[in-house]
């Protein structure tokens, strides 16, 4: 199995960062989350003058066998249709990426469709969709390993291109079902509290989804380890995101976390390497049932509450300007000493 070398940021610089932030010409703590963000980013980058360079939103895409059980409002072909919308620049995350200067990378990890060769689609297809985990494991051990490796390699490429802040998105009909099972199995939170409407199910649809997922959970006979839960219930795109997040933490990049699905990927990644969470900034609390509970479980405080549940990395990219403001604060604000202002706290 692929291994990562992930260490907590060195604490030696913490006091200097706090002193730098407190020396800025403002009441102590008056810029709130911008101050804590600047501290976190300075810790990650080990500098008093952090920078954000070449932001990227990586979208991993795959289909899910469990979609055959009618757990989603959307049919499976929507996965490929939305990918074409990405390519045409017309999706929700596309306008946000243009607005905030993000490059978008699209990775086909297991879409049940053969795309014509296109330089803007990174073809890393493992299989045309996972297996139906109501009846069998979604993927093999070898496929799990391959997905982790692919996810990590994509981020290595981003890092080589100068990226030091990365957002992860996903596209895959059925992936809120996989995420609900990851959440319940890895936290012990009852499944009923982890299952929501996904792409728009009504109350009857949510009830059916829960019954299917409950049956799948009861059928599971694995060892209960994080890797086995990931393998049995996961999607290729989700496992790739886990590998990508772990490589990003290893490279000391800032990880912008999107919604319910990507927060579950942080959950899985942190079960393998707990220190990776020090590199995560949680972009938003989404409107998918269970997301708030999962954020609380991770002791994560999101930047935005906008009722979003689109996925694709939309919430994390939308939060980027706040992160940028934190970096601009520590770099551009003058100090009390510079302006000969009496320090008033």
* pLDDT (0 to 100) of residue 104: 98
* pLDDT (0 to 100) of residue 126: 98
- Joined tokens for residue 109: 């990890």
Dihedral (CA of 327, 31, 284, 299) sign:
positive
* pLDDT (0 to 100) of residue 339: 86
- CATH (residue range 56-326): 3.40.50.10210
List the domain boundaries for the chain: 56-326
For residue 32, the tally of other CB atoms under 10 A from its CB is: 8
| CB proximity list for 53: less than 8 A, separation 6 or greater | 162, 163, 164, 165
- Joined tokens for residue 232: 């049995």
| CB proximity list for 305: less than 8 A, separation 6 or greater | 284, 285
Radius of gyration of the chain (CA): 20
* pLDDT (0 to 100) of residue 273: 98
Out of 69, 153, 250, 312, pick the active-site residue: 312
Residue with tokens 């990226």: 163
Q: Is 103 a catalytic residue?
A: no
* pLDDT (0 to 100) of residue 341: 86
User: How far is Cα 307 from Cα 58, in angstroms, rounded to an integer?
Assistant: 22
Q: Tens place of pLDDT for every residue, the chain, 345 residues?
A: 899 999 999 999 999 999 999 999 999 999 999 999 999 999 999 999 999 999 999 999 999 999 999 999 899 999 999 999 999 999 999 999 999 999 999 999 999 999 999 999 999 999 999 999 999 999 999 999 999 999 999 999 999 999 999 999 999 999 999 999 999 999 999 999 999 888 789 999 999 999 999 999 999 999 999 999 999 999 999 999 999 999 999 999 999 999 999 999 999 999 999 999 999 999 999 988 899 999 999 999 999 999 999 999 999 999 999 999 999 999 999 999 998 888 876
Residue with tokens 């996810």: 151
């Amino acid at each position: 199995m692929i291994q990562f070398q992930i260490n907590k940021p060195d604490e030696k610089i913490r006091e200097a960062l706090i002193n730098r932030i407190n020396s800025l010409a403002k009441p102590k703590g008056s810029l709130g989350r911008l101050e804590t963000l600047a501290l976190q980013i300075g810790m990650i980058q080990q500098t008093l003058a952090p920078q954000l360079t070449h932001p990227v939103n990586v979208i991993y895409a795959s289909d899910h066998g469990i979609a055959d059980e009618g757990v989603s409002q959307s049919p499976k072909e929507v996965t490929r249709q939305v990918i074409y919308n990405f390519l045409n620049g017309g999706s929700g995350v596309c306008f946000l990426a243009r607005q905030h200067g993000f490059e978008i990378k699209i990775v086909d990890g297991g879409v049940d469709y053969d795309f014509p060769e296109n330089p803007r689609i990174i073809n890393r297809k493992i299989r045309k969709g996972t297996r139906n985990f109501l009846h069998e494991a979604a993927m093999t051990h070898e496929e799990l390993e391959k997905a982790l490796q692919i996810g990590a390699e994509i981020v290595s490429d981003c890092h080589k291109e100068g990226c030091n802040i990365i957002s992860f998105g996903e596209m895959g009909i059925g992936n809120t079902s996989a995420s609900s099972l990851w959440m319940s199995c890895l936290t012990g939170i009852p499944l009923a509290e982890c299952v929501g409407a996904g792409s728009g199910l009504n109350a009857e649809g949510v009830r059916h989804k829960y019954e299917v997922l409950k049956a799948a959970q009861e059928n599971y006979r694995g060892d209960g380890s994080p890797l086995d839960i990931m393998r049995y219930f996961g999607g290729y795109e989700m496992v790739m995101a886990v590998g990508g997040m772990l490589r990003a933490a290893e490279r000391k990049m800032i990880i912008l976390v999107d919604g319910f699905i990507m927060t579950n990927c942080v959950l899985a990644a942190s079960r393998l390497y707990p220190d990776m969470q020090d590199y995560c900034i949680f972009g938003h609390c989404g409107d998918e049932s269970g997301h708030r509970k999962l954020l609380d479980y991770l002791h994560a405080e999101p930047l935005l509450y906008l009722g979003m549940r689109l996925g694709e990395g939309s919430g994390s990219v939308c939060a980027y300007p706040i992160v940028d403001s934190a970096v601009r604060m520590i770099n551009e604000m003058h100090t009390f000493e510079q302006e000969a202002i009496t320090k008033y706290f």
